[in-house]
Amino acid sequence: MNEQPLHDLDTLRARQPRFRGLESGHRACQGCGEALAARLTTEAAGPDVVVANATGCLEVFTTPWPQSAWRLPWIHSVFGNTAAVAAGMEAALKQQGRATQVLAFAGDGGTFDIGFQALSGMMERGHDVLFVCFDNEAYMNTGVQRSGSTPHAAMTTTSPPGELRMGKRHMKKDILSIIAAHHIPYAATASVAYPSDLRKKVRRAMDTEGASFLQIHSPCPLGWGHDGAKTIEVARLAVQTGLFPVIEMERGELIGTLPIREPRPVSDYLKLQNRFRHLFASEYRARKELEHLQAIANRNIERFELRGVGPETYDTEGADTVHRGGDRWA
């Protein structure tokens, strides 16, 4: 077919059908869910975008000066202002009459917590920005401290289990309800375990005029204490147990879900991760917390009507190269 050896990196890259906004060679840990999520997002978004990035792992591992893994115009300002920086970029591009789209990237800290006020303001004002939250459920960049997104009972360095505690005392903040209350045109959750679904949602959000929000469940092998080779398995189990519902909303109304035909017990998901190891001790408190987490998953399945009745939905929808965004820019 071609004399060029297949292992030649430049050739492979040239044949890569998709645009890559985030290049290889960055410094993320092995199995980093956030790096994968960012690559999938930027692939689907294409090159005619500008990115505002919050402080966090993604910023740090992609841009150690003088290197940068981004093939997109990209700016990092501070931790809590990403949505506002994105809003400013959008206002500028609008005023200039340009069609370039604006993405905002933040972790769960930059979304649920320190960046929340700016995010709420951006959504309330209806800026045409896609805000992507790479949700790895703790402050990973500073060394795994609990965030508003950390699940109940999870161990972090600031929610350690001990004689008096069983990990995080509080619940994972219900960010979806808060986003829904802003009645933005489009909001969705996605998981790195379902990449076609994820890409489809990015494209959908970018086609939507006004503010949109995408929360991507992104396992962190280091922070969650799981094998880096099992990132996808862990992410998929979070969905299949009901602990991370994959849904879509329009104007705050639920319009679609990734259904679960046979929900898996939460222990299948939890036991792969050291952050939940204390829940498997043979003691009463541990059993109660496991029951508690199972009840949370059951409640999610009920609330979002996740129980699928048809055939298992595999992640095949949209899994073609035609609509991946890349061919337009090849």
Partner 1 sequence: MALALEGSQALARTVALCRPQVVAAYPITPQTHIVEGIAKLVADGHLACEMVSVESEHSAASVALGAAAAGSRAYTASASQGILLMAEVLYDISGLRIPLVMTCANRALSGPLNIWNDQQDSMSMRDSGWIQLYCATNQEAVDTTVQAFRIAERCELPVMVCVDGFTLTHTLEPLELPTAEQVDGFLPVYSFRHGLDPADPRSLGTLVGPEHFSEVRHAHHQAMMRAQTEIEQADADWAAVVGRHCGGLVEARGDPEARLGILTLGSVLGTLEDAMDSDPELPRARFIKLRSFRPFPAEALRRACEGLDHLIVLERALSPGAGGIVGPEVQTALIEMEEPPRVHNYAAGLGGRDLSLDLYSRIVQAVFGAERPREFAIIDAEPDLLPESDR
Of 41, 42, 81, 150, which lies in the binding site for partner 1, with binding defined by CB under 8 A?
Answer: 81
Q: What separation in angstroms does the CA of 56 have from each of 28, 60, 117, 297, 322?
A: 12, 6, 18, 28, 33
Q: Does 182 bind partner 1 (CB under 8 A)?
A: no
Q: Count residues binding partner 1 (CB under 8 A).
A: 44
CB closer to partner 1, 102 vs 260: 102
CB atoms within 10 A of CB 308: 15
Those residues whose C-beta lies under 8 Å from the C-beta of residue 316, and which sit 6 or more positions away, are 196
CB closer to partner 1, 210 vs 265: 210
Q: Within 98-127, which residues bind partner 1 (CB under 8 A)?
A: 100, 117-118, 120-121, 124-125
Of 95, 162, 312, 316, which lies in the binding site for partner 1, with binding defined by CB under 8 A?
Answer: 95
CB closer to partner 1, 60 vs 254: 60
Of 20, 23, 48, 272, which lies in the binding site for partner 1, with binding defined by CB under 8 A?
Answer: 48
Of 12, 14, 92, 295, which lies in the binding site for partner 1, with binding defined by CB under 8 A?
Answer: 92
Q: How many CA atoms lie within 13 A of 120 on its CB side?
A: 11
Minimum distance of partner 1 from residue 116's CB (angstroms): 11
Q: Does 211 bind partner 1 (CB under 8 A)?
A: no
Q: Are 16 and 22 in contact (CB under 8 A)?
A: no
AA identity, residue 86: A
State both tokens at 93.
Answer: 């591009």
Q: Is 40 exposed, middle or buried (0-12, 13-18, 19+ CB in 10 A)?
A: buried
**3-state DSSP assignment of residue 81:** coil
CA angle (237 as vertex; 233, 238 as ends), nearest 5: 120
Q: Does 158 bind partner 1 (CB under 8 A)?
A: no
Binding window for partner 1 (CB under 8 A); candidates: 8-16, 28-36, 48-56, 202-210 = 48-56
Does the N-terminal peptide bond of residue 66 adopt cis geometry, omega within 30 degrees of 0?
yes
Kindly report the backbone phi and psi dihedral angles of residue 35, in degrees, each rounded to the nearest multiple of 5, phi listed first: -60, -40
Q: Does 145 bind partner 1 (CB under 8 A)?
A: no
Q: Does 256 bind partner 1 (CB under 8 A)?
A: no
Q: What is the CA radius of gyration of the chain?
A: 20
Q: Does 267 bind partner 1 (CB under 8 A)?
A: no
Minimum distance of partner 1 from residue 89's CB (angstroms): 4
Q: Does 25 bind partner 1 (CB under 8 A)?
A: no
In the stretch 291-320, what mask flags binding to partner 1 with x, by CB under 8 A?
------------------------------
In the stretch 55-74, what mask flags binding to partner 1 with x, by CB under 8 A?
----xx--xxxx-x-xxxxx
Handedness of CA 288, 292, 297, 302 (dihedral sign): positive
Distance (Å, whole) CA 133 – CA 147: 13
Binding window for partner 1 (CB under 8 A); candidates: 43-51, 153-161, 271-279, 316-324 = 43-51
Distance (Å, whole) CA 282 – CA 124: 48
Of 78, 281, 322, 330, which lies in the binding site for partner 1, with binding defined by CB under 8 A?
Answer: 78
| Chain residues in the site for partner 1 (CB under 8 A) | 47-50, 52, 59-60, 63-66, 68, 70-78, 80-81, 83-96, 100, 117-118, 120-121, 124-125
